A and B are shown apart, each in its own frame.
Chain A
């Protein structure tokens, strides 16, 4: 009886919490839209229709959800150990680069399907390697992971441009539109009509479940939390903070590399300069908003994916500037964080 009422109370608090947050988000975003002169109701309508208006549009949202969630999953490990893996963007790019390398090698071979599957581990390794570089700089040289990550992001961006305009340029012309499109045999199979790769969805869900399990029920999860909360004391418990930092970094890098790979094999079918689409940075926000919980991460990244995809058509339909969706996104994040901080302070006092 007691336990039931306690659960009820908790549920109620959560519902109230989220209602307040959503109301505040709605109010603030509406204000911003009014200030920019956009009609709020039709803006919301078009965003909603842009994300859910048809199966194909919803398919686009899901295709944005996959890399966002994979990156967020990886970030759960690094946040647990107290690292700010800003370098996730570059790690995703390197995953895409490694995957493209394998696919290019496989073009015209007899066993193309083999190369298609090989591109996944390649993406994983690419992202993980890039993450481990930042991990080593952090643990061995004392370079803050934020600076290391930022630097490596620029390097990855430079590398991808160099490849697209150099070694991997399209025959005849080098262009910002990317490398030559791969033959359909090297595309990840898509579910008919909605254009969604079932393999990608399955991999993402699998990654979510495994991450949730590891963080919750295994030694690794406990140790990551322990080191994140107090590295000095964890040494007395016999833990090696350095090793676990490298582990967390390589897991995060691996998952975001996988996201980069899926962008190549399932979305663009070639390497383009903006292959990461800013999903890495967005994933940082997603994880923070989700309160570092795996389940919430999936839901919040779906929300952001829909918002991203839904606002694509705003410029065409309403003649609004395309940067408005970014403004809406930023406003939402700020309000959510603000409301959370306010609730926390009230709970404390």
Chain B
């Protein structure tokens, strides 16, 4: 095996190949299950891809392997020996290391200091030796890192390279990479992929978690697909895109049930709008939302939908381009101006952005009816809270502080706080965490607004939901609007391809 090594990348101390076997791994959070009976084998010297939708259980499985979370059931075998570890340090000692989506580093320290951190136990640090090691490793992998640069001046791709080298220097033989190609340039992607190939050729195992079909197809020799927390299938090279998509998204759902709508006037028009923020910002986005239309936003989390919704709500300002609301240019104004025109935004992070911890349901209702008077109409708010609790099936009392409600109930409360007659509803993952029945019920309620000729824009991680509800679908990939299509003229495979960045 050793003869296969193209470049002697690590110190010669660890010519050690690891075969990882997972047997019947389960992970439960309360009653919900994140992983259910997953078994798979990772051969040494291979690049193994893990594919699946958002929430399919990929991250949970990887975190179990890296020792960050504990499995509920099942065994992990390393070279045939059962291994029971429960912290990242122990996993690291066994040779398993994970490269996180957001690299864990110290931005104000230099590259070299970050490299040394966690590797030394002596009082005096032999900087020179570490610098040599850093330079050698980065040269062998084709990276160009300046040891004296502060980490905060690095791009995400370079920080990834640093973290990768650090893991190798610690002696990691199994590398787990979580979405490594999000937010890095194509050039850096090529560099990374070449490095990973070199490492695999040397006998190390690489596990690549991704939503992106293209990356996985280019790099991996074997792919495992997860769906709804379960193993959906395995495939070895050569891959068939159609078959993979079917494994990821399941069989196509029934044709959508849509009542035809007369095309209304445009409410919101975006003309080559760009902004920064999030993982990749949003670039040159042009589209419009018309009256009585439901538009679904699809894409991997962080591909630009978040920025799109916040721009449309006036929560942030575009760096270029124009936004028109009801035919009047409004970009550059703040959220209050948008709100006055009937734009309502419901964010996905309930307790962080949408609700106010410490206040009760009734107090939220009182905040909502804020405009009138100096005093608070307490009895009125309590009464209305009681009504909304019944109507929206919220499990709680008017005096329950919102942080004591469960996630699903917080979502219902947010929905109950929507105003009576909005003109444009911007909903970020409105049914996240709700069961199927509640989801249907909520969409029935929202249809009322559509019939009033309001426009509705929503994002969702469930393609099925988007296909079922939306009249039009916008697909985002890597900060760009890559597809703007009528629901009737597309299908789940085409959407799946677009979401994964394949054209």
Binding site for B on A (CB under 8 A): 217-220, 222-223, 225-226, 229-230, 232-240
- The verdict on B352 contacting chain A, using a C-beta distance below 8 Å, is yes
CB interface residues, B 128-165, toward A, < 8 Å:
none
State which of A225, A232, A238 has its C-beta within 8 Å of the C-beta of B353: A232
Stretch of B274-282, B361-369, B472-480 on the interface side: B361-369
Number of interface residues of B (CB under 8 A): 27
In contact, A230 and B357 (Cβ under 8 angstroms): yes
In contact, B354 and A236 (Cβ under 8 angstroms): yes
Q: Closest approach, in angstroms, between the C-beta of B247 and any C-beta of chain A?
A: 39
In contact, B339 and A238 (Cβ under 8 angstroms): yes
Provide the B357-385 mask, 1 if CB < 8 A to any CB of A, else 0: 11100010011101101111010000000
Residue of A nearest to B346 (CB): A236
Q: For the complex, would chain A's binding face be called helix, strand, loop or mixed by DSSP majority? A: helix
Q: Closest approach, in angstroms, between the C-beta of B52 and any C-beta of chain A?
A: 31
Can you give 23 A-B contacts (C-beta < 8 A)?
A217-B378, A218-B375, A218-B376, A219-B370, A220-B374, A222-B363, A222-B366, A225-B356, A226-B359, A226-B363, A229-B356, A229-B358, A229-B359, A233-B352, A233-B354, A233-B356, A235-B315, A235-B335, A236-B346, A236-B353, A236-B354, A237-B368, A239-B367
Residue of B nearest to A230 (CB): B356
Q: In the complex, which residues of chain B have a beta carbon less than 8 angstroms from the beta carbon of A222?
A: 359, 363, 366-367, 376
Q: Max chain B CB contacts within 10 Å: which of A230, A233, A237?
A: A233
Residue of B nearest to A238 (CB): B339
Complex Cα distance, B414 from A145, in Å, reads 32
For the complex of A and B, the 9 pairs showing the least CB-CB separation, nearest first, are: A230-B356, A229-B358, A229-B356, A237-B367, A226-B356, A232-B353, A233-B356, A218-B375, A233-B354
Complex Cα distance, B427 from A235, in Å, reads 16
Residue of A nearest to B334 (CB): A235
Complex Cα distance, B222 from A77, in Å, reads 62
In contact, A238 and B356 (Cβ under 8 angstroms): no
Q: Closest approach, in angstroms, between the C-beta of A239 and any C-beta of chain B?
A: 7
Q: In the complex, which residues of chain B have a beta carbon less than 8 angstroms from the beta carbon of A230?
A: 351-353, 355-357
If A219-B376, A229-B356 are given as contacts, then 10 extra A-B residue pairs at C-beta distance below 8 Å, sorted by A number, are: A217-B378, A219-B370, A219-B375, A229-B357, A230-B353, A234-B356, A235-B335, A237-B368, A238-B336, A238-B370
- The verdict on B17 contacting chain A, using a C-beta distance below 8 Å, is no
Complex Cα distance, B371 from A237, in Å, reads 10
In contact, A236 and B345 (Cβ under 8 angstroms): yes
Q: A237-B367, A238-B339 are in contact. Are A219 and B356 (CB under 8 A)?
A: no
In contact, A217 and B376 (Cβ under 8 angstroms): yes
Q: Closest approach, in angstroms, between the C-beta of A264 and any C-beta of chain B?
A: 33
State which of B335, B358, B374 has its C-beta within 8 Å of the C-beta of A219: B374
Q: For the complex, would chain B's binding face be called helix, strand, loop or mixed by DSSP majority? A: mixed
Q: A222-B366, A238-B339 are in contact. Are A233 and B374 (CB under 8 A)?
A: no
Complex Cα distance, B374 from A234, in Å, reads 18
Complex Cα distance, B357 from A226, in Å, reads 8
- The verdict on B347 contacting chain A, using a C-beta distance below 8 Å, is yes
Q: In the complex, which residues of chain B have a beta carbon less than 8 angstroms from the beta carbon of A235?
A: 315, 335-336
In contact, A240 and B336 (Cβ under 8 angstroms): yes
Q: In the complex, which residues of chain A have a beta carbon less than 8 angstroms from the beta carbon of B354?
A: 233, 236
Total A-B residue pairs with C-beta atoms closer than 8 Å?
Answer: 66
State which of A218, A229, A232 has its C-beta within 8 Å of the C-beta of B374: A218
Complex Cα distance, B376 from A238, in Å, reads 17
Q: Closest approach, in angstroms, between the C-beta of A7 and any C-beta of chain B?
A: 16
In contact, A226 and B375 (Cβ under 8 angstroms): no
Q: In the complex, which residues of chain A have a beta carbon less than 8 angstroms from the beta carbon of B356?
A: 225-226, 229-230, 233-234, 237
Q: In the complex, which residues of chain B have a beta carbon less than 8 angstroms from the beta carbon of A226?
A: 356, 359, 363, 367
Q: Max chain B CB contacts within 10 Å: which of A223, A236, A240?
A: A236
Complex Cα distance, B401 from A229, in Å, reads 12
Q: In the complex, which residues of chain A have a beta carbon less than 8 angstroms from the beta carbon of B352?
A: 230, 232-233
Q: In the complex, which residues of chain A have a beta carbon less than 8 angstroms from the beta carbon of B353?
A: 230, 232-233, 236
Q: Closest approach, in angstroms, between the C-beta of B313 and any C-beta of chain A?
A: 8
Q: Closest approach, in angstroms, between the C-beta of A148 and any C-beta of chain B?
A: 24
In contact, A239 and B370 (Cβ under 8 angstroms): yes
Q: Max chain A CB contacts within 10 Å: which of B352, B356, B359, B368?
A: B356
Q: In the complex, which residues of chain B have a beta carbon less than 8 angstroms from the beta carbon of A238?
A: 336, 339, 370-371
Q: In the complex, which residues of chain A have a beta carbon less than 8 angstroms from the beta carbon of B351?
A: 230
Provide the B193-213 mask, 1 if CB < 8 A to any CB of A, else 0: 000000000000000000000
Complex Cα distance, B115 from A196, in Å, reads 68
Q: In the complex, which residues of chain A have a beta carbon less than 8 angstroms from the beta carbon of B315?
A: 235
Complex Cα distance, B360 from A222, in Å, reads 11
Complex Cα distance, B368 from A238, in Å, reads 8
In contact, B359 and A219 (Cβ under 8 angstroms): no
Q: In the complex, which residues of chain A have a beta carbon less than 8 angstroms from the beta carbon of B370?
A: 219, 223, 237-239
Residue of A nearest to B363 (CB): A222
Q: In the complex, which residues of chain B have a beta carbon less than 8 angstroms from the beta carbon of A225?
A: 356, 358-359, 363
Q: In the complex, which residues of chain B have a beta carbon less than 8 angstroms from the beta carbon of A233?
A: 352-356
Q: In the complex, which residues of chain A have a beta carbon less than 8 angstroms from the beta carbon of B376?
A: 217-219, 222
Residue of B nearest to A213 (CB): B375
Q: In the complex, which residues of chain B have a beta carbon less than 8 angstroms from the beta carbon of A219?
A: 370, 373-376
Provide the B338-354 mask, 1 if CB < 8 A to any CB of A, else 0: 01000001110001111
Complex Cα distance, B378 from A237, in Å, reads 18
Q: Max chain A CB contacts within 10 Å: which of B355, B367, B370, B373?
A: B367
Q: Max chain A CB contacts within 10 Å: which of B345, B371, B375?
A: B375
Q: Closest approach, in angstroms, between the C-beta of B277 and any C-beta of chain A?
A: 14
Q: In the complex, which residues of chain A have a beta carbon less than 8 angstroms from the beta carbon of B335?
A: 235-236
Q: In the complex, which residues of chain B have a beta carbon less than 8 angstroms from the beta carbon of A220?
A: 374
Q: In the complex, which residues of chain B have a beta carbon less than 8 angstroms from the beta carbon of A234?
A: 356, 367
Q: Closest approach, in angstroms, between the C-beta of A238 and any C-beta of chain B?
A: 6
Q: Closest approach, in angstroms, between the C-beta of A165 and any C-beta of chain B?
A: 45
Complex Cα distance, B373 from A218, in Å, reads 9
Q: Closest approach, in angstroms, between the C-beta of A331 and any C-beta of chain B?
A: 31
Provide the B424-456 mask, 1 if CB < 8 A to any CB of A, else 0: 000000000000000000000000000000000
Residue of B nearest to A231 (CB): B356
Q: In the complex, which residues of chain B have a beta carbon less than 8 angstroms from the beta carbon of A240?
A: 336
Residue of A nearest to B357 (CB): A229
Q: In the complex, which residues of chain A have a beta carbon less than 8 angstroms from the beta carbon of B371?
A: 238
Q: Closest approach, in angstroms, between the C-beta of A114 and any C-beta of chain B?
A: 31
State which of A217, A218, A223, A232 has its C-beta within 8 Å of the C-beta of B367: A223
Q: A222-B366, A226-B367 are in contact. Are A236 and B347 (CB under 8 A)?
A: yes
Q: Closest approach, in angstroms, between the C-beta of A313 and any C-beta of chain B?
A: 44
Q: In the complex, which residues of chain A have a beta carbon less than 8 angstroms from the beta carbon of B366?
A: 222
Complex Cα distance, B376 from A223, in Å, reads 11
Q: In the complex, which residues of chain A have a beta carbon less than 8 angstroms from the beta carbon of B339?
A: 238
Q: In the complex, which residues of chain A have a beta carbon less than 8 angstroms from the beta carbon of B374?
A: 218-220
Q: In the complex, which residues of chain A have a beta carbon less than 8 angstroms from the beta carbon of B336?
A: 235, 238, 240
Q: Max chain B CB contacts within 10 Å: which of A218, A232, A239?
A: A232
Provide the B312-341 mask, 1 if CB < 8 A to any CB of A, else 0: 000100000000000000000001100100
State which of B345, B347, B368, B375 has its C-beta within 8 Å of the C-beta of A217: B375
Q: Closest approach, in angstroms, between the C-beta of A255 and any C-beta of chain B?
A: 19
Residue of A nearest to B315 (CB): A235
Q: In the complex, which residues of chain B have a beta carbon less than 8 angstroms from the beta carbon of A236?
A: 335, 345-347, 353-354
Q: Max chain B CB contacts within 10 Å: which of A237, A239, A240?
A: A237
Q: Closest approach, in angstroms, between the C-beta of B362 and any C-beta of chain A?
A: 10
Complex Cα distance, B353 from A57, in Å, reads 53
